Amino acid sequence: QVQLVESGGGLVQAGGSLRLSCAASGRTFSRYVTGWFRQAPGKEREFVSAISWSGGSTSYADSVKGRFTISRDNAKNTVLLQMNSLRPEDTAVYYCAGDPGHIFPTVVAGHYDYWGQGTQVTVSS
């Protein structure tokens, strides 16, 4: 089926930017809703953003609206998360996930069948 690999994480100072990439191996990934979640130590997994298979519908957590932008390039089986104006509270492991069961973005982690290994994002003050 689908294998997902995140990349682009790293260490950045507050106010800086990072671009996360989610690369998929499956032929059907273009038809999957794709979401980004994050988890900081001692905290629950948190929804960040999601995008429909067509790219026409997106969803963002209130905490990242206006700062993060999700997009996809189905020809390259890739979903991007552009993160600007980063804050220390954005520090977390970021996970890419694929959901074959929905047309529109979903914030429910349990709906996603495929998950990447995660990439660490650390924002220093």
pLDDT for 83-102, tens place per residue? 999 999 999 999 999 988 88
Instruction: Report the alpha-carbon distance of residue 36 to residue 122 in Å, rounded.
Output: 16
Q: How confident is the model at residue 76 (pLDDT cuts 50, 70, 90)?
A: confident
Q: What is the pLDDT of residue 115?
A: 95
How many CB atoms are closer than 10 A to CB 112?
A: 23
Phi-psi region of 66 (alpha: psi -120 to 50; beta: other; left: phi over 0): left
- Determine the 3-state secondary structure of 88 from DSSP: helix
Contacts of residue 64, Cβ cutoff 8 Å, sequence gap at least 6: 48, 49, 83, 90
Q: How confident is the model at residue 54 (pLDDT cuts 50, 70, 90)?
A: confident
